[in-house]
A and B are shown apart, each in its own frame.
Chain A
Amino acid sequence: NAGVTQTPKFRILKIGQSMTLQCAQDMNHNYMYWYRQDPGMGLKLIYYSVGAGITDKGEVPNGYNVSRSTTEDFPLRLELAAPSQTSVYFCASSYPERGNGGYTFGSGTRLTVV
C-alpha cells in the first residue's frame, strides 16, 4: 500500500541508549518531516528535508539527528536517550508546495524512555 511506513510502532529505551526510527515513503515525495507529539499537545517539528541530501532543523531538534540519502528514506536518530524524549513520533511526506495538500502521515512510533 502506498504511503508512509514507520518502524518500530513501539519501543522502550533506557536512559542513555540510542536508536533509529525508520521512515519510508513510496510516493516519490521530495519533502519529508519528523514531528513529535506530546500528550494533549499538537505536533512539533523536529527535522525536515526538501530532497535527498538536504536536511534542516525544525523547532525542537536537540537530541536528534537525521539523514536523507535517498528520496524514499528519512531515518531519525536518537543519541543518548532522555526521559524528555518520551513521545509519539510521526513521519510525514508532502508534495513540494507550501503545504498544499498531499500531506501523508505514518502511523507513528510510541517511544518511552525509562
Chain B
Amino acid sequence: KQEVTQIPAALSVPEGENLVLNCSFTDSAIYNLQWFRQDPGKGLTSLLLIQSSQREQTSGRLNASLDKSSGRSTLYIAASQPGDSATYLCAVPTSGNTGKLIFGQGTTLQVKP
C-alpha cells in the first residue's frame, strides 16, 4: 500500500532564506507527483506536477525534483517571502486510471518578515 510522508511537519524561517521541503513515498511505481499549496481556510492549489519521466519541474521561485528510485521528492523555494507562508502537500496517484490521489500530511511553512 502506497504511503506518503512529509517531513518536517512545520518549518519557520526568516524572509529571504532558501528552503527545501521533503516528500517520500513507499511505492516507486508512480506516474507522477504533485505539489499543492493550501492557505488557511482555503482549498488546495496545484503548484507543480512532475511526470515519472522527469527529474525536475520549475515554476518561478519553485523547483520540484523527483527521484523515483529512492522514493523521494523535494520542493525547493528560493528567496522565501512572507507570502509563501502556507501548508504544502505532496500527492501521488493510486493505481488505475481514476485520478485518485494519496496525500502526505503536509508541511506548514511560516516565513517571518
Q: Is B43 in contact with A99, judged by CB distance below 8 angstroms?
A: no
- Chain B residues closer than 8 Å to A108, beta-carbon distance: 41-43
- Please report the total number of B residues contacting A with Cβ < 8 Å: 27
Q: A50 CA to B34 CA in the complex, in Å?
A: 20
Report yes or no: A99 in contact with B34, Cβ–Cβ below 8 A.
yes
User: Does B79 sit within 8 A of A, measured CB to CB?
Assistant: no
B101-A99 in contact (CB<8A): yes
Which A residues are CB-close (under 8 A) to B106? 40-42
B100 near A58 (CB under 8 angstroms)? yes
Interfacial chain A residues near B98, Cβ < 8 Å: 31, 48, 50, 56
Label chain B's interface by main secondary structure: strand
Chain B residue contacts of A84, Cβ below 8 A? none
Find B100's partner among A45, A106, A110 (CB 8 Å cutoff): A45
Per the 8 Å Cβ criterion, residues 15-43 of A in contact with B are 31, 33, 35, 40-43
The total of Cβ contacts below 8 Å across the A-B interface reads: 81
B34, B49, B99, B105: the one within 8 Å of A42 (CB): B105
Q: Of A42, A92, A108, which is in contact with the most chain B CB atoms at under 10 Å from its CB?
A: A42
A59 to nearest B CB, angstroms?
Answer: 8
How many residues of chain A are within 8 Å of chain B by beta carbon?
30
Interface flags for B72-113 (1: CB within 8 Å of A; 0: not) read: 000000000000000001011100011111011110000000
Interface set of A (CB-CB < 8 Å, partner B): 4, 31, 33, 35, 40-45, 48, 50, 56, 58, 90, 92, 94-101, 103, 105-108, 110
Q: Which residues of B are in contact with A by a Cβ distance under 8 Å?
A: 4, 6, 9, 31-32, 34, 41-46, 49, 51, 89, 91-93, 97-101, 103-106
